[in-house]
């Protein structure tokens, strides 16, 4: 047995340097392939470009390169890979470098009006872009485009408010989402007066979760309410399924259920609205298929389904901005050791397609091979192909490289290297996270098929450089707010958080801490986590969806309240604009207003119009980069997307206005707070925001991964960077361990103190 051990050890030592050297050589080849991949995919305008699956092509290419043993084999493979979709592309050795032959890409009797080239406003090609702001076109060519509804689909029922007047209610339902964006769906409840004016509204946005998840909405129904409408909504592309809608009101210590017509979807079909369906479960929604289905209900035999109907249009693509490359312009770059590429940016076309036309048999054969590709993350080529894909998206289109410290090419090389030792879906997820962490993009979120979204029944945060228990949901857990965690899963807290921090993309320490606290707590449903605090040593199961914990941790229970008869508190992360409009008369009579924006406002930025004098206006500008050339060279400027707010009555700026925020506030929250900072619409207290604004883009990778990222550029009103810095508060406030142990909301307490201080001049 000893002899066998020493033989194995000797062979391992003997072969290790060789294996390492082989991997280094193959990594160099993959880097060369990656350069060619990005240039051809995004900037070479052949018709065949849009006839292959580029996600699978990256995997196929990586697999073919793994078979290569010599430089000659690799060079032959490189040319062979791109020939079916880019016959005019040339790869040449440095010693053979010569002027590109334009005659080879010029048809007989060329028509100067019949040329095509790529233009990108941001990036849409290969993206599951969530809005129409990004666009990629091959100018003058006919392209198929798939459109989903830009509206909403509803399932709703209306009932009498008679039993609910003045009562505390809770409304819940089970929802799961397939292929939807974040917050694409919501559970909602609304109460109306006799004149149809809304007197109560609340909703709970869904996560992009493909597993059944329970959502709940609470509140107090106004005494003037006569009717209740409730249900769920879905917007954009994808599918939402809903089941077990339930409504309760509180009577003394008990919760009493109010029946919702067909709330479990078992009684009858969901009906089209009519005079005869006033107390039935009905649907609304153009371009949505909305029906009862027996597919995977949460409970019973049926559930509700809202599914977008996609429409395909075919049309010739016009230019989206003025600049265009000239015929004869090529990408001529060194892409590897002694290897150059020559890739035309402009092609002629005729009735047969772009010229020169690719060999249809070779293209068909390639597509057959792509269909055979293994796309599981356990497959090395899948991992390598995905890294190549991700590298090119950011290399060519990420708008913040000027602000990023670090070497993206070096990060790419490391990610390729890590891919050789990765084995599982989770290994690959961690590599993708570490690869993109250096971009410091607070929007970056990488999901895999395995959803790590569950936690034990408590929350923790990083406070005063300690990991501190901040919220207990499960009363059977013997923890107290303010307890300090010292170990997680047998690892010292500092080391555990440090490893997770290496996977976080964010630019500010407060946003990093916010993400770190969540990522260190969550895992798969029913997975175990062991912790040691100053007082306890516990092993717990993750049984609670983190979305529920987050809501309770980030938001006060009340969406609004009057404090000491003169201060109006508005939780802008919860309140809808309709609710705010109903509250305006009361808000106008207050002496001070406190607005909470510690997470994401509920689409209520119109409220800011009441802080602007009627007749005045305020502007916010987002910049979407325009690309014709690769490597972000010769950027063709920016498309300016401007949001304007006009002053409205009642004018509320004649009183103390205080806004509370923290490091978890990014994106739309920073647009909101940017208006406040730039136009002096109030005093901001709390922490700097997360420094991540600009419309989110998203793409999917083979193996079940999706990546959200920032595709547009936003600056502060004075022209200084927002990225990685955030909106700075006028007065800094941080949570303390002492305040947490005493269950204080230190941010709100400070805001109330400022609002009450008659001698304090703010704003």
Domain of 512: which CATH number? 2.30.42.10
Round to the nearest angstrom and report the end-to-end CA distance of the chain. Answer: 80
Question: Residue 555 — very low, low, confident or very high, per pLDDT cuts 50/70/90?
Answer: low
Does 434 lie in the same domain as 333?
yes
Residue 84 has pLDDT above 60, yes or no: yes
* Predicted pLDDT at 566: 92
Q: Show Cβ contacts of residue 687 under 8 Å, excluding neighbours closer than 6 positions.
A: 510, 661, 662, 663, 729, 732, 733, 734
Which of 86, 91, 23 is CA-nearest to residue 334? 91
Handedness of CA 380, 383, 386, 390 (dihedral sign): negative
Which helix (H) or strand (E) covers residue 41, if one does?
helix 2-43
Does 187 lie in the same domain as 59?
no
Contact 723, 403 (CB under 8 A): yes
Contact 149, 236 (CB under 8 A): yes
Contact 452, 523 (CB under 8 A): yes
Question: Residue 1 — very low, low, confident or very high, per pLDDT cuts 50/70/90?
Answer: very low
Domain membership flag for residue 385: yes
- Find the DSSP H helices in 324-472: 360-371, 380-397, 408-421, 425-437
The boundaries of the domain holding residue 520 are: 447-552
Domain membership flag for residue 269: yes
- Compute CA 643 distance to the chain's CA centroid, rounded to the nearest angstrom: 21
User: How far apart (Å, rounded) are the C-alpha atoms in residues 408 and 505?
Assistant: 14
Does 722 lie in the same domain as 583?
yes
Phi and psi torsions of 474, nearest 5°: -100, 110
Mean pLDDT of 89-101: 88
Phi and psi torsions of 257, nearest 5°: -80, 140
Q: Show Cβ contacts of residue 547 under 8 Å, excluding neighbours closer than 6 positions.
A: 207, 213, 215, 453
Among candidate residues 289, 309, 329, the one where a domain is terminated: 309
For tokens 């490189």, the residue is: 78
Question: Residue 21 — very low, low, confident or very high, per pLDDT cuts 50/70/90?
Answer: low
Does 217 lie in the same domain as 110?
no
User: How far apart (Å, rounded) are the C-alpha atoms in residues 43 and 325?
Assistant: 11
For tokens 């060619």, the residue is: 36
This prediction has a pTM of: 0.82
Q: What letter does residue 713 receive in the DSSP assignment?
A: B
Does 212 lie in the same domain as 300?
yes
> Of 174-178, 306-310, 507-511, 718-722, where does mean pLDDT reach its minimum?
306-310
Domain membership flag for residue 652: yes
> Of 9-13, 173-177, 591-595, 708-712, where does mean pLDDT reach its minimum?
9-13
Q: Show Cβ contacts of residue 53 under 8 Å, excluding neighbours closer than 6 positions.
A: 367, 370
For tokens 């609340």, the residue is: 202
Does the bond joining 650 to the residue before it have cis omega, within 30 degrees of 0? Answer: yes
Query: Which region holds residue 122: left if phi is over 0, alpha if psi is between -120 and 50, else beta?
Result: left
Contact 127, 706 (CB under 8 A): no
Question: Residue 754 — very low, low, confident or very high, per pLDDT cuts 50/70/90?
Answer: very high
How many residues appear in the chain?
Answer: 763
Domain membership flag for residue 315: no
| % of residues, the chain, pLDDT over 90 | 71
pLDDT digits (tens, 9 = 90+) for 556-577: 667 899 999 999 999 998 888 9
Greater pLDDT, 66 or 279 = 66
User: How far apart (Å, rounded) are the C-alpha atoms in residues 358 and 352?
Assistant: 11
Contact 320, 636 (CB under 8 A): no
* Predicted pLDDT at 18: 42
User: How far apart (Å, rounded) are the C-alpha atoms in residues 332 and 311?
Assistant: 39
Q: How far, CA to CA in Å, does 639 sit from each of 286, 642, 699?
A: 31, 10, 22
Does 595 lie in the same domain as 645?
yes
Handedness of CA 37, 445, 234, 542 (dihedral sign): positive
Angle at 552 between CA 550 and CA 557, to 5 degrees: 145
Strand partners, 344: 330
Mean pLDDT of 257-266: 92
- Compute CA 443 distance to the chain's CA centroid, rounded to the nearest angstrom: 6
Phi and psi torsions of 632, nearest 5°: 55, 30
Does 102 lie in the same domain as 164?
no
For tokens 């207290």, the residue is: 685
Contact 290, 234 (CB under 8 A): no
User: How far apart (Å, rounded) are the C-alpha atoms in residues 749 and 566?
Assistant: 15
* Predicted pLDDT at 140: 95
User: How far apart (Å, rounded) are the C-alpha atoms in residues 693 and 429?
Assistant: 24
Domain membership flag for residue 763: no
Largest CA distance in the chain: 91
User: How far apart (Å, rounded) are the C-alpha atoms in residues 757 and 310?
Assistant: 57
Domain membership flag for residue 316: no
Taking the C-alpha atoms of 686, 689, 695 and 697 in order, what is their torsion angle to the nearest 10 degrees? -120
Q: How many domains does the chain have?
A: 4
pLDDT digits (tens, 9 = 90+) for 492-524: 999 999 999 999 999 999 999 999 999 999 999
Does 82 lie in the same domain as 19?
yes
Regarding beta strands 731-732 and 683-686, do their DSSP bridges make them parallel or antiparallel, or are they unpaired? parallel
User: How far apart (Å, rounded) are the C-alpha atoms in residues 42 and 40?
Assistant: 6
For tokens 């597919």, the residue is: 295
Domain membership flag for residue 105: yes
- Helix H, strand E, coil C: the string for 59-78 is HHHHHHHHCCCCHHHHHHHH
Among candidate residues 505, 533, 552, the one where a domain is terminated: 552
Mean pLDDT of 481-496: 98
Three-class SS state of 247: strand
Residue 322 has pLDDT above 90, yes or no: yes
Does 251 lie in the same domain as 159?
yes
Residue 703 has pLDDT above 70, yes or no: yes
* Predicted pLDDT at 358: 95
* Predicted pLDDT at 22: 62
Tokens of 663: 């490091």
Does 476 lie in the same domain as 419?
no
* Predicted pLDDT at 19: 47
Does 334 lie in the same domain as 435?
yes
Greater pLDDT, 197 or 280 = 280
Tokens of 623: 């910049």
- Highest mean pLDDT range out of 93-97, 420-424, 546-550, 757-761? 420-424
Q: Show Cβ contacts of residue 59 under 8 Å, excluding neighbours closer than 6 positions.
A: 373, 374, 375, 379, 381, 382, 384, 385, 386, 702
Mean pLDDT of 371-377: 96
Question: Residue 479 — very low, low, confident or very high, per pLDDT cuts 50/70/90?
Answer: very high
Question: Residue 5 — very low, low, confident or very high, per pLDDT cuts 50/70/90?
Answer: very low
Mean pLDDT of 101-122: 95
* Predicted pLDDT at 133: 87
> Counting beta carbons within 10 angstroms of the beta carbon of residue 73, is it exposed (0 to 12), middle (13 to 18) or buried (19 or more)?
middle
Question: Residue 316 — very low, low, confident or very high, per pLDDT cuts 50/70/90?
Answer: confident
Does 232 lie in the same domain as 141?
no
User: How far apart (Å, rounded) are the C-alpha atoms in residues 231 and 187?
Assistant: 6
Residue 652 has pLDDT above 50, yes or no: yes
Domain membership flag for residue 762: no
Q: What letter does residue 201 receive in the DSSP assignment?
A: E
* Predicted pLDDT at 758: 84
User: How far apart (Å, rounded) are the C-alpha atoms in residues 508 and 721?
Assistant: 13
> Counting beta carbons within 10 angstroms of the beta carbon of residue 112, is it exposed (0 to 12), middle (13 to 18) or buried (19 or more)?
exposed
Does the bond joining 145 to the residue before it have cis omega, within 30 degrees of 0? Answer: no
Phi and psi torsions of 354, nearest 5°: -70, 155
Contact 342, 100 (CB under 8 A): yes
Greater pLDDT, 361 or 763 = 361
Residue 756 has pLDDT above 90, yes or no: yes
Among candidate residues 439, 461, 494, the one where a domain is terminated: 439
Other Cβ atoms closer than 10 A to 557:
10
Contact 148, 236 (CB under 8 A): yes
- Highest mean pLDDT range out of 113-127, 207-221, 227-241, 257-271? 113-127
pLDDT digits (tens, 9 = 90+) for 583-599: 999 999 999 999 999 99
- Highest mean pLDDT range out of 132-146, 541-555, 742-756? 742-756
Strand partners, 571: 596
Tokens of 756: 């009450």
Which of 707, 703, 62, 55 is CA-nearest to residue 425? 703
Question: Residue 9 — very low, low, confident or very high, per pLDDT cuts 50/70/90?
Answer: very low
Three-class SS state of 371: helix
User: How far apart (Å, rounded) are the C-alpha atoms in residues 245 and 261?
Assistant: 9
């Amino acid at each position: 047995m000893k002899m066998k051990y020493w033989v194995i050890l000797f062979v391992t030592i003997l072969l290790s340097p060789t294996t390492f050297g082989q991997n280094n050589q193959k990594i160099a080849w993959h880097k060369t392939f990656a350069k060619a991949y990005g240039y051809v995919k995004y900037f070479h305008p052949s018709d065949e470009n849009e006839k292959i699956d580029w996600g699978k092509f990256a995997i196929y290419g990586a697999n073919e390169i793994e078979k290569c043993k010599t430089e000659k084999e690799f060079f032959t493979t490189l040319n062979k890979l791109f020939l079916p979709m880019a016959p005019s592309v040339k790869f040449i050795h440095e010693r053979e470098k010569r002027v590109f032959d334009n005659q080879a890409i010029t048809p007989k009797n060329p028509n100067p009006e019949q040329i095509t080239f790529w233009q990108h406003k941001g990036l849409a090609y290969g993206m599951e872009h969530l809005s129409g702001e990004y666009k990629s076109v091959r100018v003058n060519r006919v392209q198929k485009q798939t459109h989903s509804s830009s509206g909403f689909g509803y399932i709703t029922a209306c009932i009498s408010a008679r039993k609910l007047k003045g009562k505390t209610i809770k409304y819940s339902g089970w929802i799961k989402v397939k292929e939807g964006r974040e917050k694409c769906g919501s559970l909602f409840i609304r109460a109306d007066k006799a004149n149809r004016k809304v007197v109560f509204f609340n909703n709970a946005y869904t996560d992009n979760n493909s597993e059944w998840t329970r959502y709940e909405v609470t509140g107090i129904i106004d005494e003037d309410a006569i009717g209740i409408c409730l249900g769920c909504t879905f917007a954009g592309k994808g599918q939402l399924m809903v089941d077990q809608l339930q409504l309760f009101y509180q009577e003394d210590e008990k919760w009493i259920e109010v029946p919702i017509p067909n709330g479990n979807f078992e009684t009858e079909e969901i009906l089209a609205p009519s005079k005869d369906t006033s107390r039935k479960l009905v649907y609304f929604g153009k371009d949505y298929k909305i029906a009862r289905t027996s597919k995977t209900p949460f409970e019973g035999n049926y559930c509700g389904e809202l599914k977008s109907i996609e429409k395909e249009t075919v049309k010739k693509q016009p230019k989206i901005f003025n600049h265009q490359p000239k015929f004869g312009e090529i990408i001529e770059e060194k892409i590897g050791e002694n290897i150059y590429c020559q890739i035309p940016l402009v092609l002629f076309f005729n009735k047969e397609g772009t010229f020169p036309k690719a060999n249809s048999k070779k293209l068909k054969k390639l597509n057959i091979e792509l269909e055979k590709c293994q796309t599981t993350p356990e497959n090395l080529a899948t991992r390598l192909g995905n890294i190549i894909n991700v590298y090119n998206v950011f290399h060519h289109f990420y708008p913040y490289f000027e602000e990023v410290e670090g070497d993206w090419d070096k990060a790419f090389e490391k990610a390729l290297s890590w891919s050789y030792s990765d084995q599982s879906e989770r290994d690959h997820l961690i590599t993708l996270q570490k690869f993109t962490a250096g971009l410091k993009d607070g929007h970056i979120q990488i999901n895999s098929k395995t959803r790590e979204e569950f936690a034990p029944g408590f929350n923790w945060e990083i406070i005063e450089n300690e990991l501190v228990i901040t919220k207990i949901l499960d009363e059977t857990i013997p923890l107290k707010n303010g307890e300090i965690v010292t170990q997680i899963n047998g690892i010292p807290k500092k080391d555990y958080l440090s490893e997770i921090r290496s996977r976080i993309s964010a630019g500010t320490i407060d946003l990093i801490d916010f993400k770190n606290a969540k990522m260190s707590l969550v895992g798969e449903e029913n997975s175990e986590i062991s912790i040691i605090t100053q007082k306890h040593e516990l092993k717990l199961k993750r049984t609670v969806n983190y979305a529920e914990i987050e809501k309770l941790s980030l938001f006060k229970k009340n969406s609004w309240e009057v404090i000491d008869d003169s201060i109006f508190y508005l939780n802008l992360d919860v309140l809808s604009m309709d609710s705010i409009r109903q509250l305006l008369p009361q808000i106008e009579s207050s002496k001070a207003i406190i607005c909470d924006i510690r997470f994401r406002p509920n689409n209520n930025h119109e409220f800011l119009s009441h802080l602007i004098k009627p007749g005045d206006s305020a502007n916010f500008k987002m910049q979407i980069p325009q690309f014709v050339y690769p490597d972000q060279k010769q950027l063709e400027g920016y498309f300016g997307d401007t949001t304007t707010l006009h002053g409205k009555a009642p004018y509320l700026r004649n009183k103390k206005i205080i806004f509370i925020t923290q490091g978890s506030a990014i994106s739309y929250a920073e647009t909101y707070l940017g208006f406040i900072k730039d136009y002096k619409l109030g005093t901001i207290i709390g922490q700097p925001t997360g420094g991540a604004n600009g419309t989110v883009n998203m793409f999917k990778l083979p193996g079940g991964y999706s990546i959200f990222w920032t595709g547009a550029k936003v600056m502060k009103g004075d022209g200084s960077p927002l990225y990685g810095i955030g909106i700075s508060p006028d007065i800094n406030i941080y949570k303390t361990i002492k305040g947490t142990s005493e269950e204080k909301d230190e941010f709100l307490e400070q805001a109330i103190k400022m609002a009450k201080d008659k001698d304090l001049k703010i704003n």
